[in-house]
Amino acid sequence: MSDPFKEAAGIRKVLTADETAEGRLDAWLTAKVGEDFSRSRIKALVKEGAVLLNGVPITDPQRKVRPGDSYQITLPEPEDPTPKGENIPLDVLFEDDDLIVISKPAGLVVHPAAGNWTGTLVNALIYHCGASLSGIGGVRRPGIVHRLDKDTTGVMVVAKNDVAHRHLSQQFADHGRTMPLERAYQAIVWGRPSQLVGTIDAALGRSTGDRTRRAVKRSDSHDADEAVTHYQVLERFHENPDATALASLIDCRLETGRTHQIRVHMAHIGHPLLGDVVYGAGFKTKANLLPEAAKKVVNRFPRQALHAYLLQFEHPRSGEVMHFESPLPDDMKELAAALRA
């Protein structure tokens, strides 16, 4: 039997809730629409007014579905799952037949996903590398063995064939315990950690309130993943006689590589990253304690102040230990200079 929703994509379709209908509107619609549309996509369509109840737009995806409700939903054409090459400039640090190492700028999403189907690093790599990219990471993530958040800058390595992909993936899964993989970041955080050198050992999992966020979890929680971050304070800005400081530049080394790990861990110990609107929004008013010139720079800083400055790994073919570093980007240099003033 054909799927009427695939056939009706792009037109309005009527759905009637039967006597068994229950739960949130976005969840119910997702179950009815099928695999072409994720729950997050359906949720977005509801918020955009693409769903009508008795001819009236409803924009609350959490609304409870009741038996007898009649909904009209306008479905866009499903996205093409295969990314296309796009001529997006890349800052290439190294390239050979097996891999490519780049310095990722802020604002560049690594791979296509809901809301970012084009303009990603994958689109740029397909254009740059052509058919040589490894497909082992999936259609939408060819060659990707690790990632950086959209607004995090720094060094990344991408595999150009399946052998390189497997070898590099093993190194990232090992987290440098028995292999030479090493990753280091620099971040500017609010305050100054009580210890100049320390380790944060706190398991992470999805936030119960917002599944796009991560949160510290009890280690015995069913969804907890081990997460360990080592940090060192490199510089203190506006230090006080009692050894406190308004902000600090820190070095972070990862023992694990969880999503948002540094951002969540630093917020967990009370020192979120400057510019982090997800995990550090409550600290934004601290900028009012700065001199006016520095306050302006901090308030207009558009992202979390995090840069992946070092990446080391073993080359999958030669076995040579490859070491790459990328200096702080200009916006973080300007931020640090303003805090020093």
Catalytic residues: 149
CA 290, 292, 294: angle at the middle one, nearest 5? 60
Tokens of 57: 């737009």
Choose among 131, 164, 144: nearest CA to 104: 144
Cα torsion angle, 150, 155, 161, 164, sign: negative
Beta pairing class for 306-314 and 321-325: antiparallel
Contact 162, 135 (CB under 8 A): yes
Distance CA 297, CA 314 (A): 39
Continuous segment of H or E residues that includes residue 297: helix 292-300
Contact 121, 111 (CB under 8 A): yes
In the chain, the N- to C-terminal Cα span, in Å, equals 69
Distance CA 306, CA 267 (A): 13
- Contacts of residue 181, defined as CB under 8 A and 6 or more positions apart, other chains included, come to 171, 172, 174, 175, 312, 313, 314
Distance CA 122, CA 217 (A): 32
Contact 255, 176 (CB under 8 A): yes
For residue 58, with 0-12 CB atoms within 10 Å meaning exposed, 13-18 middle and 19 or more buried, which class applies? middle
Strand runs (DSSP E) across 162-257, as ranges? 182-190, 197-201, 204-206, 214-216, 228-239, 245-254
SS3 state of residue 145: coil
